[in-house]
Amino acid sequence: MNEQPQGGERLTKKKQDGETEPDNTTHDQNFKNLIVDYPRESLQFFAGPECHDLEPAVRIIPIRQEQLKELLRNHHRELDIPLLVEWPDGRRGVLLFAFEEETDPAKFSIHRLVHYCTDLSYMFETDRVVPVVIFLHPGNFRRVLELRSDRNIYLGFRYIVCDLGRIPAIEYMDSDNIVARLNLPNMRYPESDRIRVYAQAQEGLAVLEKDPAKRRKYADYIDYYSNMSQEELEIYKREYLASSQHREEIMGFRQMFVEEGMKIGEQRAEQRAEQRAERARLQAFREGLLRSIEMGLLLRFKDEGMKMMDKIAQVQDIDRLRMIEELLKTTDKLPEFKRRLDE
């Protein structure tokens, strides 16, 4: 994947009323899942300069977070998932790809990336480490670090840049790389192409992924980053989905989302109904206790006792009201009742 020039159109994401931008942890986890589920396609798309010609025989092994934590347990940095790439015939040495997803380019630290890569190099005893940074949004960031004097450069560091927000979506509309198709909504395109981009991402998922569980998972990924309005979804269904050769597959995994959403909605509705019923029951019981206490005050202490009712009526705790009701049954003198009530 070639780096794109600065400037140009930017993807515009519409937020629905009341929505906020997801935090960086969510984006980070989304991309970790994507890389683990599609390691070969991730290498070919995110790290194209090194991996555009990966043969089928090449082994790609994700190094899990648990392994990294054990190896780098003395470090507090958040660790992304590296991929170990092996050529079985031995004609190329093993490569270790170190991925980092950065949502906001302004927060990117090349020094942190250097630490991460040198840690991996030391722990895995290899100098063949390829750093790759995926920038979700366009922005300015440092691409090169050199530690030097006036005469010499003593450490030179650079990395592969995947600047998603500057990659033209038009170049990947018909790509057979599923990672590229899923990330169409994160690329650069004019506002007028929003629905078309969404349609091509969904079409790519239907064609390139046969596993129903992954289809469900990444239909959600597309929805998450497309952030379509209800009106846009209706246009998509009418102008794109209706004529798609893969409408049955797309409708299939979208229907699963609808059914799951309905099931969750029904469960939540039942829970809310039960909670409302319980609140109503407790309120009716409380009101019955207050009426009993009011009658007891009137019978035992006449008008002087009734003067305490406003204070007692403010008590919300059922057990406290029960205690007051019992107190009325065992106390004959108003001063004694007041004293025990205040204890």
In this structure, is residue 240 part of a structural domain?
Answer: yes
User: Does position 145 have pLDDT exceeding 60, yes or no?
Assistant: yes
Q: Give the model's confidence band at 65: pLDDT under 50 very low, under 70 low, under 90 confident, else very high.
A: low
Number of domains composing the chain: 3
Which secondary-structure segment (H or E) carries 269?
helix 247-306
Same domain membership, residue 199 and residue 110: no
The pLDDT value given to residue 189: 96
Same domain membership, residue 131 and residue 64: yes
Of 245, 277, 295, which closes a domain?
A: 245
The pLDDT value given to residue 23: 56
Residues 126-144: pLDDT tens digits?
999 999 999 999 999 999 9
Query: What sign does the CA torsion over 69, 70, 71, 72 have?
Result: positive
Least-confidence region, from 46-55, 77-86, 199-208, 274-283: 77-86
In this structure, is residue 122 part of a structural domain?
Answer: yes
Same domain membership, residue 154 and residue 191: no
Of 147, 166, 185, which closes a domain?
A: 166
Q: Give the model's confidence band at 17: pLDDT under 50 very low, under 70 low, under 90 confident, else very high.
A: very low
Same domain membership, residue 269 and residue 240: no
Same domain membership, residue 191 and residue 62: no
Query: Where in the sequence is the domain holding 62, given as residue range(s)?
Result: 24-166
In this structure, is residue 251 part of a structural domain?
Answer: no
In this structure, is residue 272 part of a structural domain?
Answer: yes
Q: Report which residue type is found at 284.
A: A
Average confidence score pLDDT of the chain: 82
Residues 31-48: pLDDT tens digits?
999 999 999 999 999 999
Same domain membership, residue 192 and residue 75: no
pTM summary value: 0.66
Same domain membership, residue 223 and residue 113: no
The C-alpha atoms of residue 160 and residue 3 are separated, in whole angstroms, by 8
User: Does position 206 have pLDDT exceeding 50, yes or no?
Assistant: yes
The pLDDT value given to residue 11: 32
Q: Report which residue type is found at 260.
A: E
Least-confidence region, from 18-22, 48-52, 168-172, 274-278: 18-22
User: Does position 20 have pLDDT exceeding 70, yes or no?
Assistant: no
Q: Report which residue type is found at 192.
A: S
Same domain membership, residue 200 and residue 82: no
Of 211, 245, 279, which closes a domain?
A: 245
Greater model confidence, 78 or 286: 286
Same domain membership, residue 195 and residue 96: no
